[in-house]
């Protein structure tokens, strides 16, 4: 397909899939259950962190994490006692287990106490047209807290050639406008134009079928190709097309 035809297809599917019905079956519904900024961003980060596998299982386990934190994640992060962490001992989502969850709790407490919160960490090195350096900085700040080596695999690093799908998804949730009740638009210090598309199996396969990506692996080089293609379609809000790519992939909807 020619670029013009690809853009027209994505625009058409964007109108079909980009609305609040998207939330009904998506893990994004978890942070939508909160109203305060810090609760939303913590719920969003933890949900995005375990966002691989079946969506129903992701939603179930993300809700379990919120319940373990008394459905008040920000207050729990700041004020929990050691005995409260014992409740986490049996949590598991695929390879993400209780020790990883406890590390995330301590890492986030470290960030809110010492760096002014998640938005401050991500915006700190925010001078480039992309947010790869911001993700790297967030990762470094998190791992200043005591942790097991195994937990490091749960925070990807774009500077180590990872597409960092889950963190780019989290950033989309926080930064893109909330005009249709899907993303939140909470972080105004970062521009939507800086976002990268969350590159997963669905978006990658569709992007290759449409000629947006030529690289076979879903790595940082493939993400660069996709980023450039989507910025050619809309340089101000390129990641809006994530809804179209994902919707086409899940529903096999190329028509």
Going by DSSP bridges, is the β-strand pair 96-97/92-93 parallel, antiparallel, or unpaired?
A: antiparallel
Mean pLDDT, each 10-residue run in order, the chain (255 residues) = 93 93 92 98 98 95 98 98 93 97 98 98 85 96 96 96 97 95 95 96 94 96 97 97 93 75
The pLDDT, as a whole number, for residue 255 is: 62
For the entire predicted model, the pTM comes to 0.96
The pLDDT, as a whole number, for residue 124 is: 85
Q: Where are the domains of the chain?
A: 3-251
């Amino acid at each position: 397909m020619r670029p013009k035809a690809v853009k027209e297809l994505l625009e058409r599917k964007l109108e079909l899939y980009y609305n609040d019905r998207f939330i009904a079956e998506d893990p994004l519904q978890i942070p939508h259950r909160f109203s305060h900024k810090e609760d939303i961003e913590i719920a969003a980060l933890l949900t995005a962190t375990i966002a691989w596998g079946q969506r129903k299982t992701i939603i179930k386990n993300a809700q379990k994490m919120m319940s373990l934190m008394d459905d008040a994640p920000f207050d729990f992060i700041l004020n929990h006692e050691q005995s409260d962490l014992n409740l986490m001992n049996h949590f598991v989502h695929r390879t993400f287990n209780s020790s990883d969850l406890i590390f995330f709790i301590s890492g986030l407490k470290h960030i809110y106490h010492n760096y002014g919160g998640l938005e401050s960490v991500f915006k700190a090195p925010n001078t480039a047209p992309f947010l790869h350096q911001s993700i790297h900085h967030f990762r470094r700040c998190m791992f200043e807290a005591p942790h097991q080596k195994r937990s490091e695999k749960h925070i990807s690093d774009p500077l180590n050639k990872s597409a960092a799908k889950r963190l780019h998804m989290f950033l989309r949730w926080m930064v893109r406008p909330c005009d249709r009740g899907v993303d939140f638009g909470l972080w105004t210090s970062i521009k939507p134009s800086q976002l990268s598309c969350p590159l997963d199996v669905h978006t990658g396969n569709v992007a290759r079928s449409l000629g947006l990506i030529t690289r076979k692996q879903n790595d940082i080089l493939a993400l660069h190709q996709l980023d450039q293609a989507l910025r050619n379609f809309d340089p101000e809000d390129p990641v809006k097309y994530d809804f179209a790519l994902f919707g086409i992939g899940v529903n096999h909807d190329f028509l």
